[in-house]
Amino acid sequence: MLRVMRWWDLDVVLDLEHVVFGGQASWSVEQLWSELAGVPDSRHYLVAEMGADVVGYAGLSVVGDTGDVMTVAVAPSRRRHGVGRALLDGLLSHAAQRRVREVLLEVRADNAPAIALYSCVGFEPISRRRDYYGAGVPAIVMRRRGQWVAS
């Protein structure tokens, strides 16, 4: 089940952030608070729950008619169960409601499962960012435009 992320989710989300992304690559509690401060004006954050457990979360920034997927994280034990796809679908639905014309994201170039998921929902690679995730770790910039765009 998806629902809008609230401030009381931040402890669990921060723990999941560290599990999924590791210490150096993960966001701080201050960054997460800052993201939630933009809701609902320019930010939209969701959590995925299975039972009483938060098993994933995702965020979207909207500026004008462009959306930017800020993060997608799924607990390792819940990957390949449709959680990431559900979170992306939720973000894209919100983007369409906001009349967004394109959605962008960055993904580690070596993260084949994430690239496959993004490709599956219509994202296409448009460029690379050298050392985006640290020395020697590039990102692929992907974009989605198309039939979901509100006219």
Distance of CA 11 to the CA centre of its chain: 18
Catalytic residue, from 45, 57, 118, 133: name it: 118
Residue among 35, 45, 57, 106 flagged as catalytic: 106
Concerning whether 124 is annotated as a catalytic residue, the answer is no
Place of tokens 């559900």: 86
Q: Which residues pair with 58 in a beta bridge?
A: 46, 72
- CA distances 70 to 2, 52, 62, 107, 151, Å, are 17, 25, 10, 10, 24
Neighbour tally for 80: CB within 10 Å: 10
Residue 118 a catalytic site member:
yes
Active site residues: 106, 118
